[in-house]
């Protein structure tokens, strides 16, 4: 009896060991392996290792170190020069050395993908690159944008003659990052791809090579960047959306003046990003009734806006889902099966050779399209909500006695500091009395070079 169990055990172990190694796809021995008569030895297949994990941790270390230094330079030293040097370092390290790939902006996609795909184990470094800048921003404002992000750095380097974007235009263009963020999250969550990486205009410069279209896009972004400062950061960057939320709530945001503001207007034109807001006039109260009415209408409109934009989002599920490989493959197969297309593509050939039933593929494609429908509702509703909030903000006026920083837009680049007379006092360049005198200035201010 014991003999028999042992035999069974041996057979069991044999199967356990032998069966998995008989991977059928690899057995294709059409020609016997030669028995060499000479003392020939078969060479080994060399497998070069990946980048050392120590270097991955060094990336995190560099990120934290630069974040600390930039924050210190912006808050304590208040030095544009230091921030500029750190920016150059980041451009070299994260841009040209790391080729732009371990990147906080792109990490949004890994996060979204990981949250919806349990099979994907998100690397530790990617979580760090996603979370650390957000935490820093929640405390100190967007110092990450000032000098850590290589995409920001390359644009900052070409800011030559920034012009002011009209407030209404900046407001309208400001919706684009939200739409982009929504699409990024949707595409990553459904597994359709990482569109930030696909349409990154500057990564081609870091790698010294990109497709023709992307080179043109990158060059035109840089050209535009000479007159409109940091166009990608302000009107495209999806990570900037999250950072601006954090920055609005930031505990200690940088201030233009180290001590007080006397409304001298010297800093008025100093911000190339339009983040310095003028003091607002006293609110006129005679129109109060009309304004309350307008607000009430907006509140009633909210559900209409949400349902409207959500509906539009959900109706876009068919064209959007085509970005997903499975859906586009299913459509191609469908075209071929119906005889509308006679030439097979590489993808359909590979699919047919694999012998998977087409029904299974169609079912998978339908599931993905449904996911896009649900996602479309959510993303559409989100964009609607953002537009609605922007409308509300246009109607609410708060009394602001001094020049102030729009903390959502401010990148903590430290350009404006030196324009403040009290900063000049702090640096010992002028006396406090001279600074106080500037407060009565009524002359028109010329445009300062950033």
Which residues between 8 and 37 bind other proteins (CB under 8 A)? 21, 23, 25-26, 28-34, 36-37
Exactly one of 134, 215, 298, 430 binds other proteins (CB under 8 A); that residue is 134
Nearer to other proteins, 36 or 168 (CB): 36
Q: How far is the CB of 187 from other proteins (least distance, A)?
A: 10
Concatenated DSSP letters of 307-336: HHHHHHHHHTHHHHHTTSHHHHHHHHHHHH
Range in contact with other proteins (rule: CB under 8 A) among 69-77, 101-109, 216-224, 270-278: 101-109
- By CB under 8 A, is residue 279 in contact with other proteins? no
Number of shown-chain residues binding other proteins (CB under 8 A): 71
Query: Within 10 Å of residue 428's Cβ, how many Cβ atoms?
Result: 7
Token pair listed for 147? 């000098």
If one asks whether residue 217 binds other proteins (CB under 8 A), the answer comes out as: no
- For the chain, the distance separating the N- and C-terminal CA atoms, rounded to the nearest angstrom, is 91
User: Are residues 206 and 102 in contact, defined by beta-carbon separation less than 8 angstroms?
Assistant: no
Handedness of CA 269, 158, 109, 373 (dihedral sign): positive
Q: Decide: is 400 part of the binding site for other proteins (CB under 8 A).
A: no
Residue 334 contacts other proteins per CB under 8 A = no
Q: Does 3 bind other proteins (CB under 8 A)?
A: no
In this complex, which beta carbon is closest to other proteins, that of residue 254 or of residue 266? 254
Distance CA 313, CA 316 (A): 5
Rg of the Cα atoms in the chain: 29
DSSP state of 406: -
For other proteins, the closer of residues 87 and 103 by Cβ is: 103
- Of the candidates 91, 114, 151, 189, which one interacts with other proteins according to CB under 8 A? 114
State in angstroms the smallest separation of the CB of 406 from other proteins.
16
Interaction residues for other proteins, span 218-237 (CB under 8 A): none
Give the torsion through C-alpha atoms of 262, 264, 269, 275, to 10 deg: 10
- Determine how many CB atoms are found less than 10 A away from the CB of residue 213: 10
133-141, 142-150, 160-168, 299-307 -> range binding other proteins (CB under 8 A) = 133-141
Q: Which of positions 308-327 make contact with other proteins (CB under 8 A)?
A: 325
Beta strands in 289-416 (DSSP E): 404-405
Nearer to other proteins, 112 or 314 (CB): 112
Residue ranges in 138-167 that form contacts with other proteins under rule CB under 8 A: 138
Q: What is the DSSP letter of 396?
A: -
* Sequential DSSP letters for 208-239: T---HHHHHHHHHHHHHHHHSSSHHHHHT-HH
| Contact set for other proteins, span 184-213 (CB under 8 A) | 193-194, 197-198, 203, 207, 209-210
Binders of other proteins among residues 46 to 85 (CB under 8 A) are 47-51, 53, 56
Q: Can residue 1 be called a binding residue for other proteins (CB under 8 A)?
A: no
- CA 40 to chain CA mean position, Å: 55
Nearer to other proteins, 54 or 297 (CB): 54
């Amino acid at each position: 009896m014991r003999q028999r169990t042992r035999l069974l055990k041996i057979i069991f172990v044999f199967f356990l060991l032998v069966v998995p190694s008989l991977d059928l796809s690899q057995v294709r021995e059409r020609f016997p392996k030669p028995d060499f008569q000479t003392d020939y030895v078969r060479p080994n297949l060399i497998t070069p290792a990946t980048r050392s994990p120590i270097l991955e941790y060094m990336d995190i270390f560099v990120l934290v170190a630069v974040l600390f230094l930039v924050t210190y330079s912006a808050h304590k030293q208040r030095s544009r020069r230091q921030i500029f040097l750190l920016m150059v370092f980041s451009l070299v390290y994260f841009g040209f050395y790391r080729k732009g790939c371990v990147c906080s902006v792109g990490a949004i996609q890994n996060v979204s993908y990981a949250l919806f795909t349990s099979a994907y184990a998100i690397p530790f470094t990617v979580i760090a690159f996603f979370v650390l800048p957000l935490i820093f921003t929640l405390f100190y404002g967007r110092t990450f944008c000032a000098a850590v992000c290589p995409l920001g750095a390359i644009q900052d380097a070409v800011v030559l003659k920034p012009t002011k974007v009209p407030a209404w235009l900046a407001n309208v263009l400001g919706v684009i990052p939200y739409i982009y963020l929504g699409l990024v999250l949707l595409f990553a969550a459904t597994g359709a791809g990482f569109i930030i990486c696909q349409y990154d205009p500057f990564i081609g410069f870091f790698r010294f090579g990109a497709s023709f279209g992307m080179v043109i896009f990158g060059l035109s972004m840089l050209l535009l960047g000479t007159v409109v400062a940091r166009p990608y950061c302000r009107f495209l960057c999806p990570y900037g959306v999250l950072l601006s939320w954090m920055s609005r709530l930031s505990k200690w945001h940088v201030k233009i003046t180290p001590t007080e503001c006397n409304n001298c207007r010297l800093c008025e034109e100093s911000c190339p990003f339009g983040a310095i807001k003028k003091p607002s006039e006293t609110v006129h109260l005679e129109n109060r009734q009309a304004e309350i009415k307008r607000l009430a209408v907006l509140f009633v409109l909210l559900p209409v806006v949400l349902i409207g934009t959500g509906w539009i989002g959900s109706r876009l599920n068919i064209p959007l889902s085509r970005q997903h490989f499975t859906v586009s493959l299913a459509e191609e197969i469908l075209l071929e099966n119906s005889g509308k297309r006679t030439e097979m593509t590489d993808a359909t050939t590979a699919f047919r050779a694999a012998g998977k039933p087409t029904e299974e593929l169609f079912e998978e494609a339908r599931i993905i399209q449904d996911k896009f429908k649900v996602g479309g509702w959510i993303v559409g509703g989100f964009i609607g909500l953002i537009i609605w909030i922007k409308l509300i903000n246009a109607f609410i006026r708060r009394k602001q006695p001094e020049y102030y920083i729009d903390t959502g837009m401010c990148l903590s680049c430290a350009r404006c500091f030196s324009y403040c007379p009290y900063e000049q006092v702090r640096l010992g360049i002028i006396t406090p009395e001279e600074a106080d005198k500037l407060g009565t200035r009524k002359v028109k201010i010329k445009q300062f070079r950033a």
